[in-house]
Structures are given as structure tokens and as C-alpha cells.
Amino acid sequence: MKHHAAGRAALYLSAVAIALSVGGCTYYSQLAFPSPTSVFMTSGDGNIQRPYTPIGEMVYLKRGFRIPLPVLGMIPIADVLPDTVLRTEVARRIVAMGGDGLINMRVHWMPPMPGLLGFMATGGSITVTGTVIRR
């Protein structure tokens, strides 16, 4: 009788663990762009003063990293977070190209995923494209 009850408890715990790991996760982040005096970013061409000088097209890609093994994959080693990438790395690249703005920006972000109890986990990825300009 003890073995039967322990087996049932293990079955229930396994079912709960699988349901929690397979269930959808929601991520919410409010993107805080740099101030307009430093770098200007917009998904359109905005109400920026014309004329402006197009510098070139920018394509930025970054992938995060998690160890895709059970339990270890649940540890965020180098996850990709869009607000951090936009405020730091993308803004630096715009300035390095000689610009002070990014128009027609498109952001494609795949959030980090813990996988199935860490198995097949990913750190996410982000792709940012747009036209670098000087106002």
C-alpha cells in the first residue's frame, strides 16, 4: 500500500512539474529609449527635422545563452533583454556609425525560454534593423 501511494504521489508531482514547464509564460517590459538629446530611435520617420542625412542601414543581431540541459537550462546565464540591448549596445553602434538617430526601426525579439525543466532551454535572441541618420 505504501508503494502504491508513493507511486501516485510521484505521478502527481511529475504531472504538475510538466504542466508548469510547458505552460505559457508572459514577459512584460517597458522599453525605455535613450533621451532624444543623445540618440533618437523610432519605428517610423517620426517628426524629425528635415533635412537629415542617412548614414546607412544597421542590422544588429544578438543571441543569448543557456545550457540546454535539465535543471541547468533554468539558470539565466546570458539572456537577451530588449531594453538593455537598445539602451546600450544599439545606441553605441548608432554613434559609432556617425549617426544620432535610428528611423524605421524594427525589433524582432524571441524571449528566453527555460525549456522543459531546463532541457532545450534558450537565452533568446533579438534582431534590430533600421536606417541610421544624422539630424
Place of cell 553605441: 92
CATH of the domain at 63: 3.30.110.70
1 within some domain: no
Domain count of the fold of the chain: 1
C-alpha cell at 131: 536606417
pTM for this predicted structure: 0.69
pLDDT digits (tens, 9 = 90+) for 10-60: 666 666 566 555 555 555 556 555 565 678 888 887 666 778 889 999 999
pLDDT digits (tens, 9 = 90+) for 58-103: 999 999 998 888 888 888 889 999 988 998 899 999 999 999 889 9
15 within some domain: no
For position 58, what pLDDT does the model report? 95
C-alpha cell at 82: 530588449
